[in-house]
Amino acid sequence: MSSHRRFLADGAGAALAEYALVIGLMAAVAVVAAWGLGPIVAAKFQAGAAAFAGAGPASDAR
């Protein structure tokens, strides 16, 4: 029996495939979440940058 068939015949081959599926699913969820939240986060950063852009040094009223 070849080493590939022996590997798949024991439980390690099936477990490896299951782990690969779980990791792939987690990666897909992370990509979708980043894609969906990206514009929201960008808007928050732009609002913060605009707030800082309007700020300047305090007037020197003596």
* Residue 4 φ/ψ, nearest 5 degrees: -65, -45
Q: Band of the pLDDT at 10, cuts 50, 70, 90?
A: low
> Which of 21, 23, 1, 5 lies closest to 13, judged by CA?
5
Predicted confidence (pLDDT) at residue 14 exceeds the cutoff of 80: no
CA atoms of 25 and 19, how far apart (whole Å)? 10
| Residue 52 tokens, joined | 């800082």
- 61 band by pLDDT with thresholds 50, 70 and 90: low
pLDDT of amino acid 55: 74
Over residues 19-53, the pLDDT tens digits come to 999 999 999 999 999 999 999 999 999 999 888 88
Mention every residue, 6+ apart, whose C-beta is less than 8 A from residue 7. 13
Q: What are the structural domain ranges in the chain?
A: 3-51
